[in-house]
């Protein structure tokens, strides 16, 4: 055969093989579950549906493992073992729990106790979102406050922890979902997933970009309207977006809304004008702890904290529909409801 023809045929064949490789179309695979007290959805794009489902299953298994270790609602979780041994013993825990506890302590320090993992006694007393939710008496609150103090968590370097006073109670509800989202992110990355949306009850990790290469657009809940109504949207790539809001878990009594984000210094649901705090950063655990912390700190202190941290941004929404956006986010956040006013 003529050499030119052979080269021509080889060229065509190579091109065909190359094109067939490229034409593998990425399709979405999505699964939901209920864990960590909330609805979870993972959506990822893959060219292999079965494998995609396997990856999501593996992710949910990992979340369940985290829940078993850290939930206060499971009697024999590691966190409850520490709670039961309060005032008495050190309890050795897994690397997972140890990491989250250590992070909780560092966020308690930098937020000057606004975020406090020893909030458990107060969370239990208020019972927001449970059958026993009620407004406690002053005395009950004064008493519970005695058990809230992150300085009284002792740790040894073998991952064992102790609560120094009997009756103290850890609660990682303000940070564990973030840790779970980061662990799912790791699984997706190991499996070479480039485009995905991890949504653990509003605790979001937007993995990579959208399939067309553009940024993800994340709707920010209008705290004054029903779930799913957005007051604006954020453009993000490969970052976590976590919101703490007074609309998530609450009850109303005598026209007063009692929600689940408790001010550890006062013993009451935080009430400083902020009704939602959104954090954008690379680690969902950081975003989760900081959204709870900034909600409690309020506009001035909260914004100061966020501006002091590298690569962490926030959006704070107040009851009077004012919106405060940190410096690095101004171009990426768009208000779509004109009732909300952007403040400098
Ligand atoms: P989030 O929705 O992430 O703001 O977390 C709220 C949950 O965190 C509550 O349901 C409690 O379990 C827990 N929590 C409430 N107040 C605090 C606080 N001041 N510090 C740490 N965790 C808290
Ligand atoms: Mg949180």
Element (H, E) at 42: strand 38-46
What rounded mean pLDDT belongs to the chain? 94
Q: Nearest bound ligand to CA 279?
A: 2
178 in ligand 1 pocket by Cβ < 6 Å?
Answer: no
How far apart are alpha carbons 338 and 232 in whole angstroms? 10
277 in ligand 1 pocket by Cβ < 6 Å?
Answer: no
Domain range 27-68+174-343, its CATH number among 3.40.50.300, 3.30.565.10, 3.10.520.10, 3.40.50.1820: 3.10.520.10
How far apart are alpha carbons 51 and 29 in whole angstroms? 10
User: Which atom of ligand 1 lies nearest, measured to the CA of 262?
Assistant: 16
User: Hey, where are the domains in the chain?
Assistant: 27-68+174-343, 74-163
pLDDT at 6: 62
290 in ligand 1 pocket by Cβ < 6 Å?
Answer: no
pLDDT at 16: 53
How far apart are alpha carbons 189 and 59 in whole angstroms? 12
281 in ligand 1 pocket by Cβ < 6 Å?
Answer: no
pLDDT at 14: 57
pLDDT at 1: 59
Mutation probe of ligand 1 site: the residue of 260, 266, 291 with most atoms within 8 A of C-beta: 260
**Topology (CATH) of 74-163:** T-fold (1.10.3980)
Scan for tokens 């302590």, then name that residue: 105
How far apart are alpha carbons 310 and 205 in whole angstroms? 19
Measuring from atom 12 of ligand 1, which residue has the nearest CA?
173
The phi, psi pair for 324, rounded to 5°, reads -110, 125
Mutation probe of ligand 1 site: the residue of 261, 287, 298, 316 with most atoms within 8 A of C-beta: 261
Task: Summarize pLDDT for 313-331 with one digit per residue, the tens.
Answer: 999 999 999 999 999 999 9
Whether the predicted model's global pTM rises above the 0.85 cut: yes
User: Which atom of ligand 1 lies nearest, measured to the CA of 108?
Assistant: 20
174 in ligand 1 pocket by Cβ < 6 Å?
Answer: yes
Q: Nearest bound ligand to CA 274?
A: 1
pLDDT at 5: 65
pLDDT at 24: 74
Residue 293 Cα to ligand 2 midpoint, Å, equals: 7
Q: Which ranges of the chain have pLDDT less than 70?
A: 1-23
Task: Summarize pLDDT for 30-46 with one digit per residue, the tens.
Answer: 999 999 999 999 999 99
What per-residue string of b and e applies to 86-106 under the rule 16 or more CB within 10 Å gives b? beeebbebeebbbebbebbbe
Sign of the Cα torsion 163, 243, 308, 208 reads: positive
pLDDT at 202: 87
Sign of the Cα torsion 299, 304, 309, 310 reads: positive
């Amino acid at each position: 055969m003529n050499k030119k023809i052979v080269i021509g045929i080889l060229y065509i064949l190579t091109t065909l093989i190359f094109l067939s490789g490229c034409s593998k179309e990425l399709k979405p695979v999505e699964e939901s579950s209920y864990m960590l007290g909330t609805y979870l959805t993972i959506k990822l794009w893959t060219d292999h549906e079965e494998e995609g489902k396997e990856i999501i299953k593996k992710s949910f298994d990992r979340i369940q493992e985290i829940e078993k270790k850290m939930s206060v609602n499971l009697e024999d979780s590691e966190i409850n073992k520490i709670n039961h041994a309060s005032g008495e013993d050190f309890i050795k825990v897994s690397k997972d729990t140890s990491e989250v506890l250590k992070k909780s302590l560092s966020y308690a320090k930098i937020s000057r106790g606004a975020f406090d993992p020893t909030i458990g006694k107060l969370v239990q007393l208020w019972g927001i979102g449970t059958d026993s939710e009620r407004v406690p008496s002053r005395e009950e609150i004064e008493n519970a406050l005695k058990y809230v103090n992150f300085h009284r968590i002792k740790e040894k370097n073998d991952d064992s922890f102790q609560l120094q006073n009997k009756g103290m109670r850890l609660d990682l509800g303000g940070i564990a979902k973030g840790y779970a989202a980061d662990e799912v992110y790791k699984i997706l990355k190991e499996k070479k997933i480039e485009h995905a949306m991890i949504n653990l009850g509003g605790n979001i990790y937007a993995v990579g970009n959208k399939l067309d290469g553009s940024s993800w657009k994340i709707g920010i809940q209008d705290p004054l309207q029903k779930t799913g109504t957005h007051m604006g949207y954020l453009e993000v790539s490969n970052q976590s977006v976590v919101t703490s809001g007074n609309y998530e878990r609450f009850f109303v009594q005598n026209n007063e809304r009692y929600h689940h984000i408790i001010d550890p210094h006062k013993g009451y649901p935080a009430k400083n004008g902020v009704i939602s705090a959104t954090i954008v950063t690379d680690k969902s655990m950081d975003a989760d702890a900081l959204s709870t912390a900034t909600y409690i700190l309020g506009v001035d202190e909260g914004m100061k904290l966020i501006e002091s941290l590298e690569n962490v941004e926030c959006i704070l929404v107040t009851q009077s529909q004012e919106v405060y956006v940190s410096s690095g986010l101004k171009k990426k956040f768009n208000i779509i409801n004109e009732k909300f006013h952007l403040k400098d």
